[in-house]
Amino acid sequence: MKIFTFIICLFVVSVCTAQTEGIIKSVDAAPIYYRTFGSGQPLLIINGGPGMNSNGFENLARKLSEHYKTIIYDQRGTGKSILPILDSTTITMDLMIEDVESLRKFFKLDSWSILGHSFGGMLASYYATKYPEHIDKMILSSSGGIDLGLLSYVNDAISSKLSSEEKKIR
């Protein structure tokens, strides 16, 4: 009986953390490689870069899959999302957000949460400007945002409130 219970528990754990993978075609027929982990509310994780594959976020995706269905993908031209030509016509922000939208449609999701790290956060922000109705929640990690000039504005605003002594420390 103990062995049977152990096998059932092992099966339940493996189903809950099941991984699927595949390749979809984006709007311009570009191949987009993805992996999913777990089940529950969908959470897309967009890695930084550009130029990096999603492998560095696999452990995070696995951990978060305890509570969410996590989705990671290789951005166009990286990892297993291979393009025959890499140039300014095949790698654009507009095409990259259409890749994200193609993933959402492939998974038949009305909305999802997105976690974007670094450049992935910029991509998530841009996606949110084009498809706000499909965003449930958005988490930006070490992201500059769409307009990097905003950083100068924030730094100037903070500096204007500092005393001369505080400015010396800064």
CATH number of the domain within which 121 lies: 3.40.50.1820
Q: 95: Cβ–Cβ under 8 A, 6 or more apart, which residues? A: 26, 27, 28, 30, 76
Let me know if residue 124 belongs to a domain.
Answer: yes
Q: How many domains does the chain have?
A: 1
Residue 33 and residue 104 in contact, taking contact as beta carbons nearer than 8 Å: no
One digit per residue, the tens of pLDDT, for the chain of length 170 reads 666 554 554 454 444 456 899 999 999 999 999 999 999 999 999 999 888 999 999 999 999 999 999 999 999 999 999 999 888 899 999 999 999 999 999 999 999 999 999 999 999 999 999 999 999 999 999 987 555 555 565 566 666 766 777 666 65
Is residue 80, in this structure, part of any structural domain at all? Answer: yes
- pLDDT in the model for residue 34: 99
Tell me which residue range forms the domain holding 56: 19-169
pTM summary value: 0.76
Residue 64 lies in a domain: yes
9 within a domain of the structure (yes/no) = no
